[in-house]
Amino acid sequence: SRQKLLELVGHMGMTPRELLREKGTPYAELDLGNSKWTDDQLIDFMLEHPILINRPIVVTPLGIVLARPSEAVLSILPNPDIVSFTKEDGELVIDAQGRRVA
């Protein structure tokens, strides 16, 4: 819904434009890179074409983030004792000692 999307954007400290996804969407066809579009209009476009919403948006009791890159979600996971985390592409993010690699 419009209200939920605005709530998520607000909690993430983003603007609707920052939440727009370009690749594989009608972004260019709709000329959404044009600064003439207001935040309200961009929200309208996202509601009409949900593929325009960058994702995933992850919500936990500790916060809300756009998990791009995927390790951004680590800051809001309720388990602070994560030891060793490797992304789906094989990139190591947290080593076996619990230290961030990158």
Q: What is the mean pLDDT of residues 68-81?
A: 83
- The pair of three-digit structure tokens given for residue 70, joined into one six-digit string: 């995927």
The structural domains of the chain, ordered by start, are 1-55 (3.40.30.10), 60-102 (no CATH)
Q: Supply the pTM of this predicted model.
A: 0.79
pLDDT tens string 78-100: 876 777 888 888 888 888 887 88
Q: Where are the alpha helices (DSSP H) in 13-93?
A: 16-19, 39-48
Query: How would you class 82 by CB atoms within 10 Å of its CB: exposed for 0-12, middle for 13-18, buried for 19 or more?
Result: exposed
- With cut-offs at 50, 70 and 90, classify the pLDDT of residue 56: very high
> Is the pLDDT reported for residue 15 higher than 80?
yes
Distance from C-alpha of 45 to C-alpha of 42, rounded to nearest angstrom:
5
- The pair of three-digit structure tokens given for residue 48, joined into one six-digit string: 């009409």
